[in-house]
Homo-oligomer: A and B are copies of this chain.
């Protein structure tokens, strides 16, 4: 086979994408970027990384063309290169969760006790019929970058102080980044503890966008 070398070269090229996905830190960065573009500094802080470490990981992602950059003054904003990347990221998480028992236990440890969930269709139904108020508990920048139409932005850390804004007699549906995001879980627990009726969207903005449901900006 003279093809051997060419075949190896081709698959080694495929592996560049695999290598980019081969680090928990980089997956955390992709998770953040799946919500909105961000500067290196913001990414480093959110992911709990040193600045140079974050920069190095971002370079790795950039060399695999999974992320793209934009300069604004002295700042450089990173964003996902496309929705195909978001899809790949989401599928990787799903496969991991379905196949690896350790992922499930790590997820349970991180998200805490399970809370009531509604599907995307349920959420749409409840909003249309005026039976529910939808709150987006992500940081405001992420809400600004795109959210479920009609949702109100109440970042998790402001939720306790802003309870008065929420109707007491209506169900509240909270959502956040995606299937493995802790914010909506915490929000539901907080609301339930305060006597409200609250559920969370089973997944989040990432899956909503990939399902091509309407997004408001």
Provide the bound-state CA to CA distance between A98 and B182, in Å: 32
A159 within 8 Å of B by Cβ?
no
Do residues B6 and A14 form an inter-chain contact, with CB atoms below 8 A?
A: no
Residues of B within 8 A of A70 (CB): none
Q: Interface extent on A, as a size class?
A: 35 or more
Q: Which of A84-92, A120-128, A139-147 has 4 or more CB atoms under 8 Å from chain B?
A: A84-92
Copies of this chain, how many? 2
Provide the bound-state CA to CA distance between A194 and B48, in Å: 63
Residues of B within 8 A of A110 (CB): 3, 6-7, 9-10
Provide the bound-state CA to CA distance between A192 and B110, in Å: 59
Residue of B nearest to A31 (CB): B11
A18 within 8 Å of B by Cβ?
yes
Considering the complex of A and B, which 6 residue pairs feature the smallest CB-CB distances, nearest first?
A18-B21, A12-B24, A11-B24, A22-B22, A65-B99, A6-B110
